[in-house]
Amino acid sequence: MDRFEQELKDALKREPAPEWFAGAVMARVNAERQRKQKPVWSGWARMRWVAASMVLVAVVGGVRFEQDRRERVRGEQAKQELMAAFQVMGMKLREVEERVLPVIHRGEE
Protein backbone atom coordinates (compact mmCIF):
# COMPACT_ATOMS: atom_id res chain seq x y z
CA MET A 1 0.00 0.00 0.00
CA ASP A 2 1.63 3.12 -1.06
CA ARG A 3 1.20 6.50 0.58
CA PHE A 4 -1.51 7.67 -1.74
CA GLU A 5 -3.70 4.67 -1.05
CA GLN A 6 -3.26 5.13 2.66
CA GLU A 7 -4.35 8.77 2.45
CA LEU A 8 -7.40 7.84 0.38
CA LYS A 9 -8.34 5.11 2.81
CA ASP A 10 -8.04 7.53 5.72
CA ALA A 11 -10.15 10.12 3.96
CA LEU A 12 -12.93 7.70 3.12
CA LYS A 13 -12.94 6.08 6.51
CA ARG A 14 -16.45 6.00 8.05
CA GLU A 15 -16.63 8.07 11.18
CA PRO A 16 -19.62 8.32 13.55
CA ALA A 17 -21.47 11.70 13.56
CA PRO A 18 -20.75 13.94 16.49
CA GLU A 19 -23.24 13.72 19.33
CA TRP A 20 -24.60 17.23 18.79
CA PHE A 21 -25.41 16.58 15.09
CA ALA A 22 -28.66 14.61 15.49
CA GLY A 23 -30.02 17.14 17.99
CA ALA A 24 -29.17 20.05 15.66
CA VAL A 25 -30.83 18.38 12.68
CA MET A 26 -34.00 17.61 14.64
CA ALA A 27 -34.11 21.15 16.01
CA ARG A 28 -33.87 22.52 12.46
CA VAL A 29 -36.58 20.12 11.23
CA ASN A 30 -38.92 21.13 14.05
CA ALA A 31 -38.28 24.82 13.41
CA GLU A 32 -39.07 24.38 9.73
CA ARG A 33 -42.23 22.42 10.52
CA GLN A 34 -43.46 25.13 12.92
CA ARG A 35 -42.77 27.86 10.36
CA LYS A 36 -44.91 26.05 7.79
CA GLN A 37 -47.75 25.51 10.30
CA LYS A 38 -48.12 29.22 11.12
CA PRO A 39 -51.50 30.61 9.93
CA VAL A 40 -51.41 32.92 6.91
CA TRP A 41 -52.76 35.85 8.86
CA SER A 42 -50.64 35.77 11.90
CA GLY A 43 -48.33 38.51 12.98
CA TRP A 44 -47.91 41.32 10.49
CA ALA A 45 -50.33 39.79 8.02
CA ARG A 46 -53.05 39.81 10.65
CA MET A 47 -52.25 43.39 11.56
CA ARG A 48 -52.52 44.36 7.92
CA TRP A 49 -55.94 42.72 7.64
CA VAL A 50 -57.14 44.38 10.81
CA ALA A 51 -55.86 47.75 9.62
CA ALA A 52 -57.44 47.31 6.19
CA SER A 53 -60.77 46.31 7.78
CA MET A 54 -60.68 49.33 10.05
CA VAL A 55 -59.99 51.62 7.10
CA LEU A 56 -62.83 50.00 5.17
CA VAL A 57 -65.23 50.41 8.09
CA ALA A 58 -64.11 54.03 8.51
CA VAL A 59 -64.59 54.78 4.81
CA VAL A 60 -68.02 53.11 4.62
CA GLY A 61 -69.06 54.77 7.88
CA GLY A 62 -67.83 58.15 6.66
CA VAL A 63 -69.68 57.85 3.37
CA ARG A 64 -72.83 56.77 5.19
CA PHE A 65 -72.51 59.63 7.66
CA GLU A 66 -72.06 62.15 4.84
CA GLN A 67 -75.07 60.71 2.99
CA ASP A 68 -77.17 60.98 6.15
CA ARG A 69 -75.97 64.55 6.74
CA ARG A 70 -76.84 65.59 3.18
CA GLU A 71 -80.22 63.90 3.42
CA ARG A 72 -80.88 65.70 6.70
CA VAL A 73 -79.95 69.05 5.14
CA ARG A 74 -82.22 68.39 2.15
CA GLY A 75 -84.99 67.20 4.46
CA GLU A 76 -84.76 70.32 6.63
CA GLN A 77 -84.77 72.48 3.51
CA ALA A 78 -87.81 70.63 2.13
CA LYS A 79 -89.53 71.03 5.50
CA GLN A 80 -88.92 74.78 5.50
CA GLU A 81 -90.19 75.05 1.92
CA LEU A 82 -93.30 73.10 2.84
CA MET A 83 -93.92 75.38 5.82
CA ALA A 84 -93.48 78.42 3.53
CA ALA A 85 -95.89 76.89 1.00
CA PHE A 86 -98.50 76.29 3.70
CA GLN A 87 -98.02 79.86 4.93
CA VAL A 88 -98.72 81.22 1.44
CA MET A 89 -101.66 78.84 1.02
CA GLY A 90 -103.11 79.84 4.39
CA MET A 91 -102.72 83.53 3.66
CA LYS A 92 -104.37 83.25 0.24
CA LEU A 93 -107.24 81.09 1.50
CA ARG A 94 -107.85 83.61 4.27
CA GLU A 95 -107.89 86.47 1.78
CA VAL A 96 -110.30 84.60 -0.46
CA GLU A 97 -112.48 83.82 2.52
CA GLU A 98 -112.54 87.45 3.59
CA ARG A 99 -113.71 88.43 0.13
CA VAL A 100 -116.18 85.65 -0.44
CA LEU A 101 -117.79 85.04 2.96
CA PRO A 102 -119.64 88.38 3.18
CA VAL A 103 -121.09 87.75 -0.27
CA ILE A 104 -122.19 84.22 0.71
CA HIS A 105 -123.78 85.36 3.96
CA ARG A 106 -125.56 88.17 2.20
CA GLY A 107 -126.91 85.65 -0.29
CA GLU A 108 -128.09 83.30 2.47
CA GLU A 109 -130.12 86.02 4.09
Partner 1 sequence: MRTKLLVSLLAVAGVMVAQQVKLPPALDKLASKAKEVTTVNLGPEMMGLATKFMDAKKPDEAEVKKVASKLRGVYVRSYEFEKVGDYTEADFAEIREQMKSPEWTNIISNRSSKELSEIYMHKDGGMLILSAEPRELTVVNIVGNITAEDLGGLSGQFGVPNVVTRERPKAKAPAKQEEEEE
Question: Closer to partner 1 at the Cβ: 35 or 105?
Answer: 105
Interface size with partner 1, residues (CB under 8 A) = 32
Question: Closer to partner 1 at the Cβ: 24 or 89?
Answer: 89
Side-chain-side CA neighbours of residue 16 (13 Å): 3
Binding mask 57-96 for partner 1 (x = CB under 8 A): --------------xx-xxx-xx-xxxxxxxxxxxxxxxx
Cα Rg of the chain (Å, integer): 46
Question: Closer to partner 1 at the Cβ: 58 or 89?
Answer: 89
Angle (CA) 44 49 52, round 5°: 120
Question: Closer to partner 1 at the Cβ: 7 or 68?
Answer: 68
d(CA 39, CA 55): 23
Q: Provide the minimum distance between the beta carbon of 65 and partner 1 in the complex, in angstroms, as a whole number.
A: 17
Instruction: Say if CB 41 and CB 51 are below 8 A apart.
Output: no
Side-chain-side CA neighbours of residue 21 (13 Å): 5
Using CB under 8 A as the criterion, which residues of the chain lie in contact with partner 1 when the complex forms?
71-72, 74-76, 78-79, 81-97, 99-100, 102-103, 105-106, 108-109
